[in-house]
Structure 1
Amino acid sequence: MLKIFETAENLPDKIAIVDKDKSYSYQTLLTKSKAVASFLLDGETDLNQNRVAFMVSPGFDYITVQWGIWLAGGIAAPLCITYPFPSLKYVIEDTGATIIIASPEYEEILSPYFSTSGIRFIKIGNFPEYGSFELPKVSKDRGAMILYTSGTTSLPKGVLTTHANIEAQVSTLVEAWQWSQQDYTLSILPLHHVHGIINVNSCALWSGATVEFLPQFDATGVFEIFKKGNVNVFMAVPTVYFKLIAYFETLSLIEQKEITQILEKFRLMVSGSAALPVSVMEKWHQISGHYLLERYGMTEIGMAISNPYEGERRAGHIGQPLPGVDIRICNESDEVIPFDQAGEIQVKGSNVFKEYWGKQEATQKAFTKDGWFKTGDIAVMENGYFKILGRDSVDIIKSGGYKISALEIEEILRTHPSVKDCGVIGIPNEEWGEIVAAAVIPYEHLDLEKLNHWMRERLPAYKTPRKYLSVHDLPRNAMGKVTKNELKKLF
């Protein structure tokens, strides 16, 4: 049995999940997950790594579905609950999902799959409370999960991780950040993303801690939960800390003092998924008494580098390699260079994903000949701490903790009948890290507000450009390729 389920068996009466003011024990969580697994098997002995796509709101139901898929021997493919239909369709069809599971609120958007041949559609309410079928023995080398990342190509790539990969990613963080069953964390991050799934939920449940869910981020709601005094571990992206600071500054001095006294009692606060502005780190320290622990990771590797749990947390730096993770810095020829020289971070370890789903060529390109994963991030070590300098591709935009492919957005923009050509970039923004900006060459006059509405129907909100510019031409090099750094200057 996988380690996360062993914890649940060993702590039957401990509270695992708090969801909408209702508490669920580890025993309840495991019993319901087994019932989900039995229902998914439907008389079969093993799902045999069949892909199960699920669109379920964060909370108790989400975890029981994820665990149920794993217990039945399937590969979990979580769908983003804010995606428009074309993005959902891409993930469902790219994974080749044979089962789709949906919460009631997402049944309508997924309704085209109600009667699709070869796909079994399950509504959350159909799951029984208890199951009676024998569950398969799932080996750790089998596929566990497919999460999607934009990468440097126009279409998102499915990152396949095995149970062994997930156990390595989780156990490393549990050790490094000293998780225990006394911990209580708040889960607010999207659950189609490694940060929320691995760093928050899986680490907590692996350790026997308690996870409280706040399905939709709301600064008032976060502080109300903090005021109850249970939460002692909190993880978020820089954008969330930016919004919490902005809300805190609207409060009276008495309310601010009360919140500061509560935050000072926390054990750990972490920031990741995007670079943490030094100004945000300093302001949060003034409010909470904590220097946020900044770390570095990717969908493909989980977490690889972290500031120390005990010791100096250096602003603007990501820290040192985590236990069991090998890091090297290489030049453009994949030759190893000293840490104090700028180069690409390359990673090796049992935390590294298995493959890009159905994309053999992309998988091969992602690794060096001697088996190191090429992150594409450029870093240098300064006085024992790694610092990220940037990305080797200007076509990746980091916004609000997401990595967004500019090429994917450009492809969709070009399908608009009034857009002749376009260039998409990220421009620096204190709250979001970067925001998506698009320069478009129109065939005739183009209403940019209408264009934005049109884009929102085709892309998730976080991928939709925040700024538009109508231009006669785009800056290009001698080969005709758009020079993105020159394009940024237009904004």
Structure 2
Amino acid sequence: MLPLIQRADSFRDRTAISDGATDFTYAELLSRSEAIARALLGDEEDLREARVAFLVSPGFDYVAVQWGIWRAGGIAVPLCVKHPLPSLQYVIEDTTARSVVYGPEFRERLEPLFGPIDTDFVAIDDLAGGAQELPEVTRDRRAMILYTSGTTGRPKGVVTTHANLEASIRTLVEAWEWSEDDRILNILPLHHVHGIVNVLCCALWSGACCEFMPQFDAGEVFERFGTGRINVFMAVPTIYFKLITHYRQLPVEDQRELSRKLRAFRLMVSGSAALPVSVLETWREISGHTLLERYGMTEMGMAISNPYNGARRPGFIGQPLRGVTVRLVDENEQEVPEGEPGEIQVKGENVFLEYWNRPAATAEAFSPDGWFRTGDIAAWEDGAYRILGRNSVDIIKSGGYKISALEIEEVLRQHPAIGECAVVGIPDEEWGEIIGASLIVEGRQLDLQELNDWLRERLPGYKVPRRYLFQDELPRNVMGKVTKQELKQLFA
């Protein structure tokens, strides 16, 4: 049995999952996930790494389905609950998922796919357990495929093994001193490594409780904090910005009481995007906590972290985690001296296995001597890494999401009124970056509200541009390539 699931047996009577009102024990999670595994197996002995996608709201059912897929020997492919149909269809078809498990609230969204694609769609309520024995699943098997945008435009499936996941979990549990007495509020998307591994898996490995709040609401977050039950919290900088904004609107007495509750927390973490110093300092004034910044990617989980015990400096992401080796190199793959900028490259058991069905992209992601190329630039200064920025202007980090500008451009070019376009990230204190699109419009007027409605039918909401610039021509270099740094300055 996989260690994550095996460990749950020693916490059987403890609360594993909560929605704030209803609690579910580890025993209930083990029982439900076993029933789901048997149902997924049917007459088979082992799913043998068949891909099983699932569209289930955050909570007990999500975890039970994820564990059920793993216990049956399948590869879990979590789908984003906010994605429009084309994005969901892309992942389902790209992974050649044998089945899609869905919650009843998503049936209407998925129904257009029930006939056209060769995949079984199964309502979670219809998953009844059978009598089949569960297979022995080894650590070297593929466990999960998460989709991440890259410079090639279309999202790529990042394949992690159970060993990769276990390495990440063990390292973080040790580094951040998780215990069974912890209770964390999970408001992060569960198709990203941040919400799945850093929060959910670390909590369940430790015998702690993961409390869910499916939809973010700053007021409700503070209400949950006010109960005194929560003692660990992890979020992206945008969330902290929104919490600060809400806090400032509260009466002074409510602010004081809330700050008192926040000071009792054990740990607060920020990640998935650069944390503005102003947000760090304001949150420290409100909560008494200096947010722990860390650095990771879908392809490797977490690699670098500020210390749990020790100084945390704004703008610095800390030191390599145990079991992770990091180097900084120049464009010739040569290590750079201390203080000099270089690309972060990583080795360790936490690093992913491959991009799904993309051998060329997988090979390109690694140096000739086996280091994973992150594309991020940092410098080693005074005993810690300081992030300097992306190696590519075609990746936008907004609200914790890593977004491909090329993917958005490809969709924009499909609009009949748009002749050419270019998409860039524009610095923003709340979101880290917001998406800006420069458009060359042909032939007729373009209504921006209609354009946004059109885009939301084809892209997730967080990939829709927030600002537009209309031009007669795009800035280009002598080779004809759009000079995006110049375009960023035009937006500024």
TM-score of the pair, normalised by structure 1 = 0.99
Give per-residue Cα distances to partners, 1:355-407, cap 9 Å, x unaligned: 00000000000000110000000000121111111111000000000000000
Look up the SS of the partner of 1:107 in the other structure: helix
2:65 counterpart of 1:76? no
CA shift, 1:115, in A, is 3.7
Aligned to 1:345: 344
Aligned to 1:28: 28
Give per-residue Cα distances to partners, 1:104-133, cap 9 Å, x unaligned: 1111111133245642211011123x5532
Look up the SS of the partner of 2:423 in the other structure: strand
Give the partner amino acid of 1:169: S
Q: Unmatched 5+ residue regions in structure 2?
A: none
Give the conservation status (yes or no) of the 8 Å contact 1:145–1:161: yes
Give the conservation status (yes or no) of the 8 Å contact 1:437–1:468: yes
Distance 1:442 1:228 in 2: 53
CA shift, 1:473, in A, is 0.6
Distance 2:115 2:415 in 1: 31
Give the partner amino acid of 1:255: D
Distance 1:334 1:351 in 2: 22
Q: Runs of 4+ in structure 1 displaced over 3 angstroms?
A: 115-118
Aligned to 2:235: 236
Sequence identity of aligned pairs in percent?
Answer: 61
Distance 1:2 1:395 in 2: 38
Aligned to 2:207: 208
CA shift, 1:269, in A, is 0.2
Residues 155-174 of structure 1 mapped to structure 2, 5 A cutoff = 155-174=154-173
Q: Unmatched 5+ residue regions in structure 1?
A: none
Distance 1:147 1:403 in 2: 13
Residues 144-163 of structure 1 mapped to structure 2, 5 A cutoff = 144-163=143-162
Give per-residue Cα distances to partners, 1:222-281, cap 9 Å, x unaligned: 011111111111000000000000000000111001101100000000000000000000
2:422 counterpart of 1:423? yes
Look up the SS of the partner of 1:474 in the other structure: coil
Aligned to 2:467: 467
CA RMSD between the two structures: 1.0
Q: Which deviates further from its counterpart, 444-453 or 87-96?
A: 444-453
Look up the SS of the partner of 1:367 in the other structure: coil
Q: Which deviates further from its counterpart, 372-381 or 19-28?
A: 19-28
How many residues are paired up? Answer: 490
Look up the SS of the partner of 1:422 in the other structure: strand
CA shift, 1:174, in A, is 0.3
Give the partner amino acid of 2:60: F
Look up the SS of the partner of 2:317 in the other structure: coil
Distance 1:75 1:320 in 2: 32
TM-score of the pair, normalised by structure 2 = 0.98
Give per-residue Cα distances to partners, 1:441-485, cap 9 Å, x unaligned: 011232223212211111000000001111101100001100000
Distance 1:201 1:285 in 2: 25
Aligned to 1:373: 372
Give per-residue Cα distances to partners, 1:116-151, cap 9 Å, x unaligned: 5642211011123x5532100011111000000001
Aligned to 1:198: 197
Aligned to 1:389: 388
Look up the SS of the partner of 2:376 in the other structure: strand
Q: Which deviates further from its counterpart, 130-139 or 309-318?
A: 130-139
Look up the SS of the partner of 1:61 in the other structure: helix
Look up the SS of the partner of 2:13 in the other structure: coil
Distance 1:112 1:461 in 2: 20
Distance 1:352 1:280 in 2: 30
Give the conservation status (yes or no) of the 8 Å contact 1:328–1:339: no
Aligned to 1:7: 7
Give the conservation status (yes or no) of the 8 Å contact 1:329–1:339: no
Give the conservation status (yes or no) of the 8 Å contact 2:42–2:130: no
Distance 1:339 1:8 in 2: 44
Aligned to 1:481: 481
Residues 244-255 of structure 1 mapped to structure 2, 5 A cutoff = 244-255=243-254
Q: Which deviates further from its counterpart, 107-116 or 225-234?
A: 107-116
Give the conservation status (yes or no) of the 8 Å contact 1:180–1:208: yes
Look up the SS of the partner of 2:108 in the other structure: coil
Give the conservation status (yes or no) of the 8 Å contact 1:317–1:385: yes
Give the conservation status (yes or no) of the 8 Å contact 1:35–1:132: no
Residues 402-441 of structure 1 mapped to structure 2, 5 A cutoff = 402-441=401-440
2:324 counterpart of 1:325? yes
Distance 1:446 1:337, change over 3 A: same
Distance 2:111 2:71 in 1: 27
Distance 2:45 2:35 in 1: 14
Look up the SS of the partner of 1:16 in the other structure: strand
CA shift, 1:317, in A, is 0.9
Residues 81-96 of structure 1 mapped to structure 2, 5 A cutoff = 81-96=81-96
